[in-house]
Amino acid sequence: MFHNFLVGIGVIVVIAAASAIYTSIRTQSINEEFPAQGAFVEVDGIKLHYIDSGPRSGALPAIVIVHGASSNLRDLRHAFSDHLTDRFRVIILDRPGFGWSGRHTGYAHGSPGQQAELVHKAVAKIGVGAHVLVGHSWAGALVLAYGLNNPGNLKGIVALAPVSHPWPGGIAWYYSLTSAPFVGAVFSATVMLPLAELQLQRAVKSVFHPQEPPEGYAKEAGVDLILRPQSFRANAVDVSNLFDFVSKQSTRYGEMTVPLTVISGSLDTIVSSDIHSRALERQVPGARVIILDGVGHMPHYVEPDLVIAEIEALAMSKSLRRARSKNQSDTASF
């Protein structure tokens, strides 16, 4: 019996070693396939990667865009393409630990509030004055924290399918495992990547459900970047910290003084529009909340023209004057 036990341990060690070798090789290939695309700014001892495009005249506010969980700046660059850069300076950032942005050892800066402070400092250091802040999903909590704590140069916030409130059901088991001390590091460096690769296509489809991902999305958005052990673990830490953070922050939304537009999908199974967006509508004075009928978690891909128009409206400090019809209202059907 002891012999069988030793054999079992040996098999586990061999599998772990093989997985670690594969993980190292695959991580290097991902880095080569999806290199850094922009510049770096150092804030609080870490380098944040960002893309800065469009005119620098200063006549109009800049647009600062922040991605959500399991993502990177390529995702939102792909979504918005060049639709804003003809008139606006557009800055898209990799959050700490994602894409090509650094992150302190020990995974500090794992809450939306801490990252909001980093983004605020980065924006100032890059030389941005007045700006509109756009955040998707996990970054919804970040942009709301930014608006509550650093409203000075903000012209407005656009929150896309934002996480803003505590929710029932907890988080997936692999987030808890990967974010755990020591065990999470071992899991990330060995079997995590090959296991995650098997589920990646399914995960992408679930994020877009009930819509289909655009042709070539995974390549254009650099989805594989999240498979790298350090990014995967950073993501797990961020997701694990989210519930407690929004539980506390959600009591403050009545203090918001920055104009807020929220755009969500009625069929979002990742971040419920009822739990989050509708709650913001009730709490934030003057909040403009648009729920897109039949749309999932990626409204900026499904209705990009609407999202861009709402960003421009805040930047230009004017209300949209869209023609209303039976199929077009604040709860829109498309």
Average pLDDT, the chain: 90
Say if residue 77's pLDDT is above 60.
yes
According to the model, what pLDDT value does residue 112 have?
A: 97
| pLDDT attached to residue 146 | 98
- pLDDT above 50 (res 272): yes
Q: Does 325 map to a domain?
A: no
Asked whether residue 323 is domain-assigned, the answer is no
Does 7 have pLDDT greater than 60? no
Residue 26 lies in domain: 2-317
pLDDT at 58: 73
- pLDDT tens digits, 115-139: 999 999 999 999 999 999 999 999 9
Q: How many domains does the chain have?
A: 1
Q: Please report how the helices 112-126 and 138-149 are oriented relative to each other, as an axis angle in degrees rounded to 10.
A: 70
Percent of the chain topping pLDDT 90: 78
Residue 322 lies in a domain: no
| 321 vs 265, residue with greater confidence | 265
Over residues 96-110, the mean pLDDT reads 87
For the cut 90, the answer to whether the pLDDT of residue 334 exceeds it is no
User: What CATH number has the domain bearing residue 30?
Assistant: 3.40.50.1820
What is the per-residue pLDDT across 43-75, written as a single tens digit (0 to 9) for each?
Answer: 999 999 999 999 987 789 999 999 999 999 999
What is the structure's pLDDT at 333? 26
Residue 17 falls inside a structural domain: yes
Domain annotation covers residue 308: yes
Check whether 187 has a pLDDT greater than 80.
yes
Domain assignment present for residue 283? The answer is yes
pLDDT at 324 over 50: no
User: What average pLDDT does range 197-207 have in this prediction?
Assistant: 95
Reported as a pLDDT band with limits 50, 70 and 90, residue 12 is low
* Residue 220 domain-assigned (yes or no): yes
More confident site: 334 or 210: 210
pLDDT band at 221 (very low <50, low <70, confident <90, very high): very high
Instruction: Tell me, yes or no, whether 191 lies in a domain.
Output: yes
Whole-number Å distance between alpha carbons of 153 and 131: 6
Instruction: Give me the pLDDT at residue 106, please.
Output: 63
Cα–Cα distance between 135 and 143 in angstroms, integer?
Answer: 6
pLDDT of 292 above 70? yes
What pLDDT score was predicted for residue 59? Answer: 84
